[in-house]
Amino acid sequence: MKSLIIVFSLALSNSVFAETFDLPSQHFGVIGSMRTVQSTYEDTLLDIARRANIGQNQMERVNPDVDRWLPGEGTLITIPSHYVLPRAPRKGVVLNLPEMRMYYFPPKKPGQPAQVQTYPISIGRMDWATPLGMTTITNKKKDPSWRPTESIRKEHAEKGDPLPRVVPAGPNNPLGAYAMRLGMPTYLIHGTNKPLGVGMRVSHGCIRMLPEDIEHLFAQLPVGTQVNIVNQPVKAGWYGGKLYLEVHPPLEEYPNDRGAVVEEVMVALDDAMNRRSAELDNTMIDEAIDQRNGLPQVITRGG
């Protein structure tokens, strides 16, 4: 019986993908909640992040005192599964680059509440930045082969790691088992053969997802689905009478000084305060700006 329970727990822990939440009304914009788990002796922070559907950078940011490689048995790990929705139409896919996260708003099914799914993603490195803007999914492919662009082949050749013109589907294919082409030429949403890199800036501009996540999403997204790629390091949203502020570090290619972040905060608050007014706690706003840890923080005074 005991071994059955252990097997069941393991199966459960490996099957966690795609956090799905009931979508709040337009006046509200916060989903999920923070939680904590205890690490086991064998865990790394990378394993825990993958199991919890959290990107690697975000996981490290909210657990600054935990050793990424050796958290140790029984260490309390913060799981930041608490999100303010981006300022964007709640339709199709919204990719917010600074937080390295995707939000998918599936069509509402009759008799069921509207929902939102969220997934961690990898985005392009600084020299290979993922483009912003509105696009659509133009093509879908299971077991894709990878045809690296000339610039990628050149980069690899310079590092002494030449690439073939075509990398066939299989365990060495960096696209993983699924790829969805975007209307922006050469850019894809795809899986990966390096799942531990999800939640980092490691791609050539494509959107990389965990293998279990892309499999789940691939089945749901038809060709023509809208994909909105936004740059919102600061988000603000209401929940339960409180206004939450979520501040992420801006992407490296954008201004990173306090003044620039304050401007982003003003934009986010302006949008949120259009919905309803409230007395703001400037100390909490300053704290969120200083920390930039991507955790939603209450910034209204009183209950």
Partner 1 sequence: METSNTPTMAEHLEDDIMRNSLKTTAAAFMLVALTGLTGCATTRDLDVLKLAVEKAQSTADAANAAAANAQSGADAATACCKANTEKLDRMFKQSMNK
Binding residues for partner 1, rule: CB under 8 A, are 67-69, 122, 125, 152, 174, 194, 196-197, 200, 202-204, 206, 208
Given 82, 206, 216, 248, which residue is catalytic? Answer: 206
The neighbouring-strand residues paired with 48 are none
Min dist. Cβ of residue 202 to partner 1 (A): 4
205-225 burial code (b ≥16 CB/10 A, e <16): bbbbbbbbbbbbbbeebeeeb
Dihedral of CA 76/77/78/81: which sign?
A: negative
Min dist. Cβ of residue 67 to partner 1 (A): 8
Min dist. Cβ of residue 56 to partner 1 (A): 8
Q: CB within 8 A of 59, min separation 6: which ones? A: 45, 46, 48, 49, 52, 80, 199
The CA distance from 130 to 166, in Å, is 22
Secondary structure letter of residue 161 according to DSSP: -
Min dist. Cβ of residue 194 to partner 1 (A): 5
| Known catalytic residue at 206 | yes
Alpha-helix residue ranges (DSSP H) falling in the chain: 2-14, 45-52, 56-62, 150-158, 211-218, 258-273, 282-291
List the one residue out of 83, 98, 66 whose CA is nearest residue 200: 98
Minimum CB distance to partner 1 smaller for 87 or for 181: 181
Given 190, 204, 216, 248, which residue is catalytic? Answer: 190
Secondary structure letter of residue 248 according to DSSP: -
- What is the set of active-site residues? 190, 206
